[in-house]
Amino acid sequence: MPQRFANIWFRHLITDWVVTERPELTGEPFVLAAPERGRMIVKAASPKAIESGIDMGMVVADARALYPALEVIDDQPDKAKELLIALAEWCIRYTPVVSIDLPDGLMLDITGCAHLWAGERAYLKDMIVRLRQKGYYVSAAISDTVGSAWAVAHYGHDKRIVQPNRISDALLPLSPAALRLEMAVVERMHKLGFYQIRNFINMPRSVLRRRFGQQLLDRVDQAFGHAIEVIEPIKPAVPYQERLPCMEPIVTATGIQIALRRLLETLCRRLVKEGKGLRTAVFKGFRVDGKIIQIDIVTNRGSFHVGHLFKLFELKISTMEPALGIELFLLEAPVTEDVNAVQEKLWNTNAGQDNVNLIELLDRVAGKAGIKTIHRYLPDEHYWPERSVKIAGSLLEKPETTWRIDRPRPITLLANPQLIDVSAPLPDYPPLLFRYKGVVHYVKRADGPERIEREWWLEQGMHRDYYCVEDPEGARFWIFRLGHYDKTGSKWFIHGFFA
């Protein structure tokens, strides 16, 4: 698929934003200014001010001489970048790859996206209309390369869409400035009579390099597609992503469900072809008012089963508030994993059906209570109790070692042992009683000690002498003394509870 790029040029980015904040300035001449070398310099001017002969770089005193009633507003140096980032995030509804083009533009990689709007013309029109509704006067263009899209957006006049493989026809009549050259280079070219790109494009490269520098050749190569120009998106693109624009805004839960199922079917078909299953998925709705609403799910193993995934999302659809309507739906699978042939058969045969039912049950529980409420533990090759277990990455992960069964181990192991108060401890014997969380437990039965040495290759410290003790009520605890017995008082801890 040939690459296609769109460039959006905000002709009056800062002043358009000021008007959205202060509607009373609509159609009025005003400028944004900042001090520079002891003078107030115009940094941005409204369209009305520009018509009066006021432009960037002019001294404010001279500007007021041209228009005495001119309103001057303090400039915010970082505001342009802040606005572009916000607008770029808004444009993600059109493509996942959007980058800012300082000082006043955005660059979009729209490869494979325009067909969702029934073609590039409708795609570009929708983009321009909506941005103008937000208060921004923009010029935009689509072409095969970043450089040519920028050139046509800024200097293309009425032509906005460059057909594939027709870059030369679009660029040759344009000014050299359309190649994003420094103004000093453009002025030298104009002095030599190079008012259009066609005037010099066929000259020997060595001559152009000698007269105008390497930058000219680099920009020519980028614009005409002879050199690759990479854009840096504000957000990394998700490799598995599907979009569904709506002819009319969706305001009902039924409409949201239909859109979700259609996106799931499209995404899962692709996952099946590539032998993948999703572990996390995000369903987003881009509302008419510009806000983005979303719900997400997590599975215990890679899945491409549409029915199961839809049920997980269905539990949360009621939380999506469409307000005035949702105009675009987006389904992303940011985390996927390989799914082998055995896993694929599980969805369609009775073999392993119990495992499938368990996994689906866990997914539904996680959807209601949260994925952090479910854990699966595997044994780990460590003597130290805290390190002897680890959390499994999925239900299909196999243990690398076996559980230790030669010694009793509590069913509940505290992540961090807790200090307890003991009474009358003796060497090689447990205490007669201990206090834990304000409750006194008398020791009726005990077994031990079991000495567990600290793993010296990982850390230094004292050993532990563990005892299994039981109180008169039948509650059983796993307690230990840290280090050797000391008449002056050793520290005792509780580390777990038996069933």
Picking from 286, 273, 254, the residue whose alpha carbon sits closest to that of residue 116 is: 286
Tell me, yes or no, whether 450 lies in a domain: yes
What pLDDT, on a 0 to 100 scale, did the predictor assign at position 356?
A: 61
Task: State whether 43 and 157 are in the same domain.
Answer: yes
98: which DSSP letter? E
Last residue of a domain, one of 131, 148, 174: 174
What's the CATH code of the domain at 95? 3.40.1170.60
The answer on pLDDT for 264 being more than 80 is yes
Q: How many residues does the chain have?
A: 499
The pLDDT > 90 percentage for the chain reads 60
Tell me, yes or no, whether 15 lies in a domain: yes
What pLDDT, on a 0 to 100 scale, did the predictor assign at position 135?
A: 93
The pLDDT > 70 percentage for the chain reads 91
Q: Name the β-bridge partners of 33.
A: 42, 74
Tell me, yes or no, whether 332 lies in a domain: yes
Tell me, yes or no, whether 190 lies in a domain: no
What pLDDT, on a 0 to 100 scale, did the predictor assign at position 403?
A: 81
Q: How far apart (Å, rounded) are the C-alpha atoms in residues 104 and 84?
A: 7
Tell me, yes or no, whether 179 lies in a domain: no
Calculate the CA dihedral of residues 12, 18, 20, 26 and round it to 10 degrees: -80
Query: What's the rounded mean pLDDT across residues 264-286?
Result: 92
What's the CATH code of the domain at 247? 3.30.1490.100
Q: What stretches of 288-411 adopt beta strand conformation (E)?
A: 292-303, 326-338, 377-379, 389-391
Tell me, yes or no, whether 192 lies in a domain: no
- C-beta neighbour count of 451 within 10 angstroms: 11
The answer on pLDDT for 342 being more than 60 is no
Q: How far apart (Å, rounded) are the C-alpha atoms in residues 203 and 270?
A: 48
- Amino acid at the residue 123: Y
What pLDDT, on a 0 to 100 scale, did the predictor assign at position 254?
A: 92
Task: State whether 28 and 152 are in the same domain.
Answer: yes
Task: State whether 31 and 163 are in the same domain.
Answer: yes
The pTM (predicted TM-score) of the whole model is: 0.64
Q: How confident is the model at residue 427 (pLDDT cuts 50, 70, 90)?
A: confident
**Cα dist from 6 to 290, 316, 345, 409, 499, whole Å:** 21, 35, 44, 63, 65
Q: What is the pLDDT of residues 79-108, one digit of tens each?
A: 999 999 999 999 988 998 999 999 999 999
Picking from 346, 278, 275, the residue whose alpha carbon sits closest to that of residue 309 is: 278
Picking from 211, 148, 156, 204, the residue whose alpha carbon sits closest to that of residue 185 is: 211
What's the number of domains the chain is made of? 3
Burial class of 418 by CB neighbour count within 10 A (0 to 12, 13 to 18, 19+): exposed
What pLDDT, on a 0 to 100 scale, did the predictor assign at position 353?
A: 45
Strands 71-74 and 30-36: parallel
Does a cis peptide bond (omega within 30 degrees of 0) precede residue 164?
no
Q: How far apart (Å, rounded) are the C-alpha atoms in residues 215 and 208?
A: 10
Residue with tokens 């996206």: 113
What pLDDT, on a 0 to 100 scale, did the predictor assign at position 340?
A: 63
| Residue ranges in 91-182 assigned as alpha helix (H) | 120-133, 146-155, 167-171
The answer on pLDDT for 488 being more than 80 is no
Task: State whether 167 and 252 are in the same domain.
Answer: no
Task: State whether 30 and 156 are in the same domain.
Answer: yes
Find out whether 178 and 171 touch, Cβ atoms under 8 Å: yes
Tell me, yes or no, whether 464 lies in a domain: yes
Q: How confident is the model at residue 365 (pLDDT cuts 50, 70, 90)?
A: low
Residue with tokens 């006021």: 54
Q: Which domain holds residue 296?
A: 241-344
Q: How confident is the model at residue 344 (pLDDT cuts 50, 70, 90)?
A: very low
Strands 276-287 and 326-338: antiparallel
Query: What's the rounded mean pLDDT across residues 158-181?
Result: 92
In this structure, of 29-43, 58-72, 186-200, 403-417, the range with the lowest mean pLDDT score is 403-417
Q: How far apart (Å, rounded) are the C-alpha atoms in residues 309 and 257?
A: 12
In this structure, of 140-149, 259-268, 454-463, the range with the lowest mean pLDDT score is 454-463
Tell me, yes or no, whether 356 lies in a domain: no
The answer on pLDDT for 347 being more than 70 is no
What pLDDT, on a 0 to 100 scale, did the predictor assign at position 156?
A: 87
Q: What is the pLDDT of residues 111-168, one digit of tens each?
A: 988 988 889 999 999 999 999 999 999 999 999 999 999 999 999 877 789 999 999 9
Q: Which residues contact 354 (CB under 8 A, 6 or more apart)?
A: none
Q: Record the tokens describing residue 296, joined without a space.
A: 């997400």
Q: Is 444 left (phi over 0), alpha (psi -120 to 50) or beta?
A: alpha
What pLDDT, on a 0 to 100 scale, did the predictor assign at position 372?
A: 63
Task: State whether 297 and 421 are in the same domain.
Answer: no
Q: What is the pLDDT of residues 186-212, one digit of tens each?
A: 999 999 999 999 999 999 999 999 999
Last residue of a domain, one of 344, 367, 399: 344
**Taking all residues of the chain, what is their mean pLDDT, rounded to a whole number?**
88
Q: How confident is the model at residue 465 (pLDDT cuts 50, 70, 90)?
A: very high
Task: State whether 329 and 427 are in the same domain.
Answer: no
Task: State whether 155 and 36 are in the same domain.
Answer: yes
Last residue of a domain, one of 174, 202, 219: 174
Task: State whether 170 and 246 are in the same domain.
Answer: no
The answer on pLDDT for 418 being more than 60 is yes
Task: State whether 159 and 268 are in the same domain.
Answer: no
